[in-house]
Structure 1
Amino acid sequence: MVFIIFALLLLGLFLGSVAHIPIPVSLIAGGLIAIWLTIFTVRERRAGRSEGDA
């Protein structure tokens, strides 16, 4: 849960600074956050299945 809060905090910081940084940098940062959240989701789902919480 802390990871999701941290990711949303980073996303908010990047969205707040979009007007001040170049578009390619914003897109790369957004892509990295999306990849990070995808990896987190996959790991959480696999951990849930192994514990029988599916």
Structure 2
Amino acid sequence: MFFIVAALLMLGVLLGTVAHVPVPVSLVAAIAIAAWLAIFTIRERQHR
């Protein structure tokens, strides 16, 4: 659960700065966060 909160916090910080960075940087950050959440989801489902 902590990881989800941390990911959402990071997403919020990045959304605040997304207007100031180039589009490719924003896309890389979005892909990194999506990958982190996907890995977390897979690990949680396998754990159960």
The structure, 1 or 2, with the larger RCO (C-alpha pairs under 8 Å, 6+ apart) is 2
2: distance between equivalents of 1:9 and 1:44?
20
TM-score (norm. length: structure 1): 0.87
For structure 1, which runs of at least 5 residues remain unmatched after alignment? 49-54
Q: Which consecutive segments of 4 or more residues in structure 1 shift more than 2 A?
A: none
1: distance between equivalents of 2:26 and 2:44?
27
Bigger CA radius of gyration: 1
Q: Spell out the pairing of 1:4-15 with structure 2 (5 A cutoff).
A: 4-15=4-15
Structure 1 vs Structure 2 CA RMSD: 0.4
- Find the counterpart in structure 1 of residue 24 from structure 2: 24
Counterpart amino acid of residue 37 in structure 1: L
What percentage of residue pairs aligned between the two structures are identical? 60
TM-score (norm. length: structure 2): 0.97
- Find the counterpart in structure 1 of residue 39 from structure 2: 39
